[in-house]
Amino acid sequence: MIRINENYLKLQASYLFSDIAKRVAAFQQANPQKKVIKLGIGDVTRALPDACIKALHTAVDEMAQDHSFRGYGPEQGYDFLREIIAKEDFQARGANIQPDEIFVSDGAKCDTGNMQEIFSSDCTVAITDPVYPVYVDTNVMAGRTGEARDGRYQGLVYLDGNKSNGFIPDLPRERVDLIYLCFPNNPTGAMVTREQLKSWVDYARSNQAMILYDAAYEAFIQDERLPHSIYEIEGAEEVAIEFRSFSKTAGFTGTRCAFTVVPKACRAFTESGKEVSINSLWNRRHTTKFNSVSYPVQRAAEAVYSSEGKTQVKALIGYYMNNARYIREQMESLGYDCIGGENSPYLWIDGKRNSWEFFDLLLEKAAVVCTPGAGFGKCGEGYIRISAFNSFDNVKGAMERIGQVLK
Ligand code: PLP
């Protein structure tokens, strides 16, 4: 009898985005004349930078000729991309990351979801609450948790974010093995300081733990004092794996390219205490299960680092950050406490009422869609997330309508 992995049956159905879609569809049906403005989902809306488009065209033309055609590429990514990433994203910031520590992939979602596979099935996992749900669900699938009770899985260590800690959770009180951190944070938009990040690295070093650091929104960091990479913190290369993505940085959500950094100094242990290189283990996993990203897309990602590309990416990020600044100013002037929007494209707003109630109010009275914070975990109750990914005209229109409702 063929049997299933019963851990999948523990998964709580994620109703968040389908519930939102249902409520929006019902509203739209009842109010066909109203134009709904969507500031809910975290997807980019602006076209790819011109430098990336040019690189894509050139690479497609190469694929059209026998002499320049390319078949399977290296699973870890082409050297041209790994080299420029190591130089521009890490070495330029004083982090000694080498090209063979970079693994190009088709998304930070897959990498943050898959990385847990190389760690033991009985390791203790800590996640922050609110949280990007991929970290939780992939550990449930892998059997590292018990059943969900009252919205939380047994066996996971939840690190609470709240107003008093600015949604930067405290260090775990108990010893944990695997720690998921995401900064700038989705959904809260909170960003850690260098000192705060150092305390996590120190914790991991003294507890022989591993940090999985999701920096998918790194490009949105505006404050020059803040760390762009965990490897700017001394000793982090021994205890941290970092995830990056071109999705939000350069509008690649539909084009797909990302990368994960697994330093050679990163070690974990066998049951008998023998040290094993995480870089070799991930290399083994990646080359077995993944066949890299298409050549034209890797050329488009490389173009992000050209001087033309850098200017265009800066303008793209600047556009969304101007939206974020505007949303924050408007919400604060209406008397709402906000987190985020300064170094991230997300605003996390204390709605002063139940998350779904606030969602419904904005939908029904302002025809604006946000995301209820409760969908990201228990600690998200009472909050909503507003995304800055839209045109400025739409953002301005949405804020005018929200102003009318909340004033
Ligand atoms: N990590 C975080 C925190 C995200 O919010 C997202 C996407 O929204 C991802 C990873 C996924 O990125 P990618 O498009 O590279 O798979």
Mean pLDDT over the full length of the chain:
97
> Ligand 1 center to residue 404 CA distance, Å?
33
Question: Which of 9-13, 27-31, 241-245, 339-343 has the least mean pLDDT?
Answer: 9-13
* Per-residue pLDDT band at 30 (split at 50, 70, 90): very high
**Is residue 245 lining ligand 1, measured as CB closer than 6 Å?**
yes
Residue 99 in tokens: 């090209």
Q: Which element (helix H / strand E) includes 58?
A: helix 50-63
- What's the CA-to-centroid distance between 216 and ligand 1, angstroms? 6
Q: Is 107 in the pocket of ligand 1 (CB under 6 A)?
A: yes
pLDDT single digits (tens) 63-105: 999 999 999 999 999 999 999 999 999 999 999 999 999 999 9
Q: How far is the CA of 185 from the centre of ligand 1 (A)?
A: 11
- What domains are defined for the chain? 6-47+308-406 (3.90.1150.10), 53-305 (3.40.640.10)
Q: Is the CB of 324 under 6 A from ligand 1?
A: no
Residue 174 is classified by DSSP as S
SS3 label, residue 12: coil
Per-residue model confidence as pLDDT tens digits over 189-203: 999 999 999 999 999
Q: Are strands 368-369 and 37-38 parallel, antiparallel or unpaired?
A: parallel
- Count of C-beta atoms within a 10 Å radius of residue 68: 12
- Give pLDDT, residue 151: 87
> 217 CA distance to ligand 1 centroid (A)?
8
Q: Which band of pLDDT confidence, cut at 50, 70 and 90, is reported for residue 407?
A: confident
Residue 358 — φ and ψ, nearest 5°?
Answer: -65, -40
CA 54 distance to own-chain centroid: 27
Q: How far apart are CA 243 and CA 258, in angstroms?
A: 8
Nearest atom, ligand 1, residue 111 CA: 16
For 348, the token pair is 């996390």
Model pLDDT, residue 125: 98
- The better pLDDT of the pair 42, 229 is held by 229
The pLDDT value recorded for residue 183 is: 98
How far is residue 406 from each of residues 275, 352, 390, measured CA to CA in Å? 58, 12, 21
Cα 112–Cα 138–Cα 197 angle in degrees, nearest 5: 45
